[in-house]
Every structure is written in structure tokens, then in C-alpha cells.
């Protein structure tokens, strides 16, 4: 099949995901303006490509997700959380988090997929209140973090990094517990990783994923700077239970 090429205009109509390639590529080209990115996420589509290449828009089947009520926390991680050796915050250093994610060398990847344009686009979404970061610090140093997009009752996880053992797991677990308490039901992780599978993430069909989006994206967005909107983070019923 031939892929649909998108124009560079602000008004982009994505083709049906059912017409994607076997790998899950929906379309090529277009732009990374806030309107286009938000439209893509509402349709379960995300950009993923390398520096110097055309933008590729994806909707893989199956989809790797975590139902927030199925989060698995190992005994060793519970013990680590109780130590409270890390300080975990929201939206306090988005630029630093995405920068570290871009510089992280990952097994099987020759380079980063967080291009300069992607970095700028998601920083703009953060400024507009849709993209959010989790920062994990130890002794004041940023040692881990993650970022993603929040729409309705879904969090679309984009990338994470860690410089220390269990750092990114710590941030992800506390974010999941916090979002679960606020009604968020699903974290989209896009493609399988052993790291997130150990925390309870699983593959579901694209059809099921879209059924969830249709329902959960009909709820209001948690838009804004989360450090101001949720100053109580990481406090949640799930977090308090772990500290006992």
C-alpha cells in the first residue's frame, strides 16, 4: 500500500488508522504544531522518526498500555519508596527532562528519536499546559524523569530516562498512583518494553485501545502547570499506603 503524505499546513486530516502499514505507520510528513499534535493524540496517533527524516505518524497494533488499577509494585520497590531517598516532583524541569531523554543511549537504537523539532514541539505543548514531566532528584540532582501528554483520563507516556537504579521506576510508580486517584484509567506506553511490563503494562488490540480513547478522552483535561495545579504531589491514597 502507498502511504498518505500530509501537507505542511496547519490543517491536517489524518487517514484512518485501519489503512496503516503492517508496522503501524499511518502517514508521512505534516508538521508538529500544537494543533496537529493534539489532533493526532486524540486519534491515538503519535510521531516517531529520526533527525533528518520526514515525520512518521504511528498507530501500532497491538498497543502497549498500563491500566492504572493494574500497577504492579515489587517488594523491593516498595522498600525503596519507603526509604524516601528521592524527591519526586511534577513540571519543575520539563526542558531538562526531555533533554536527558534525548541524550539517553538506548539498546538497539543508533541515535535518538527526540529530534530538535520534537524537543521544541513538546516544550511548546508543555508551555500550553498539555505536556507534563516528572522529575526524580537525589541530593538535589536530577537523576531520572519522564514526560508525556495528558488528555482526558489518559496519560500518553513519551519517554523516560534514569541515571541511577530504580530512578525512572520511582517516578513512574508515584505518577501512576497519583493519576489513578484522580480518575486517570490508562497510561499509553505505545510499544512493548520489559521495564514497563514488570510494572504491569500489557498489549491490547488497537481496536480495544480506540474504544478506550473514545470513552476516556470525553472527560475534561488536567491542563495547566501541574506543579501549581497539584502542589500536594506525590501524596495519594496509594502512596500513603506504601509508606506504612
DSSP 10: S
Tell me the C-alpha distance between 128 and 229, whole Å: 14
Q: Measure CA 165 to chain center.
A: 20
Mapped onto helix, strand or coil, the DSSP state of residue 168 is: helix
pTM of the model: 0.95
Runs of H (alpha helix) within 50-111: 75-83, 94-103
pLDDT of residue 215: 98
**All CATH 3.40.630.70 domain ranges in the chain, comma separated:** 64-204+226-242
pLDDT of residue 126: 98
Tell me the C-alpha distance between 131 and 129, whole Å: 6
Q: Which fold has domain 64-204+226-242?
A: Aminopeptidase (3.40.630)
What are the pLDDT tens digits along the chain (244 aa)?
A: 568 899 877 668 899 999 999 999 999 999 999 999 999 999 999 999 999 899 999 999 999 999 999 999 999 999 999 999 999 999 999 999 999 999 987 555 444 689 999 999 999 999 999 999 999 999 999 999 999 999 999 999 999 999 999 999 999 999 999 999 999 999 999 999 999 999 999 999 999 999 999 999 999 999 999 999 999 999 999 999 999 8
Residue 67, burial from CB neighbour count under 10 angstroms (0-12, 13-18, 19+): middle
Which strand ranges, in their side-by-side order, compose the sheet holding 186-190?
87-90, 131-138, 141-151, 154-162, 186-190, 63-67, 202-204
Domain at 4-59: CATH code: 3.30.70.3550
Asked if residues 100 and 112 have their Cβ atoms less than 8 Å apart, the reply is no
For CA atoms 171, 103, 225, 190, the dihedral sign is negative
pLDDT of residue 109: 47
pLDDT of residue 10: 63
pLDDT of residue 110: 44
Kindly list the distances between the CA atom of residue 139 and the CA atoms of 86, 134, 146, 174, 213, in Å, as whole numbers in the listed order.
Answer: 8, 16, 19, 19, 39
**All CATH 3.30.70.3550 domain ranges in the chain, comma separated:** 4-59
The kind and range of the H/E element at 228 are: helix 226-229
Amino acid at each position: 500500500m502507498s502511504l498518505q503524505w500530509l501537507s505542511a499546513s496547519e490543517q491536517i486530516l489524518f487517514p484512518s488508522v485501519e489503512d496503516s502499514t503492517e508496522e503501524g505507520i499511518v502517514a508521512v510528513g505534516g508538521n508538529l504544531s500544537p494543533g496537529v499534535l493534539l489532533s493526532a493524540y486524540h486519534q491515538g496517533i503519535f510521531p516517531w522518526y529520526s533527525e533528518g527524516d520526514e515525520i512518521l505518524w504511528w498507530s501500532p497494533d497491538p498497543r502497549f498500555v498500563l491500566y492504572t488499577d493494574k500497577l504492579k509494585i515489587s517488594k523491593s520497590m516498595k522498600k525503596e519508596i519507603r526509604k524516601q531517598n528521592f524527591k519526586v516532583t511534577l513540571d519543575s524541569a520539563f526542558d531538562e527532562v526531555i533533554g536527558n531523554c534525548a541524550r539517553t543511549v538506548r539498546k538497539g537504537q543508533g541515535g535518538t528519536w527526540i529530534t530538535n523539532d520534537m524537543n521544541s514541539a513538546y516544550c511548546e505543548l508543555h508551555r500550553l499546559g498539555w505536556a507534563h514531566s516528572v522529575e526524580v532528584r537525589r541530593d538535589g540532582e536530577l537523576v531520572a524523569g519522564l514526560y508525556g501528554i495528558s488528555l482526558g483520563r489518559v496519560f500518553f507516556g513519551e519517554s523516560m530516562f534514569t541515571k541511577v537504579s530504580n530512578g525512572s521506576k520511582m517516578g513512574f510508580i508515584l505518577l501512576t498512583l497519583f493519576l489513578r486517584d484522580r480518575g486517570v484509567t490508562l497510561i499509553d506506553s505505545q510499544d512493548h518494553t520489559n521495564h514497563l511490563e514488570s510494572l504491569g503494562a500489557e498489549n491490547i488490540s488497537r481496536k480495544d485501545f480506540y474504544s478506550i480513547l473514545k470513552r476516556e478522552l470525553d472527560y475534561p483535561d488536567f491542563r495547566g502547570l501541574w506543579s501549581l495545579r497539584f502542589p500536594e504531589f506525590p501524596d495519594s491514597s496509594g502512596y500513603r499506603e506504601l509508606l506504612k
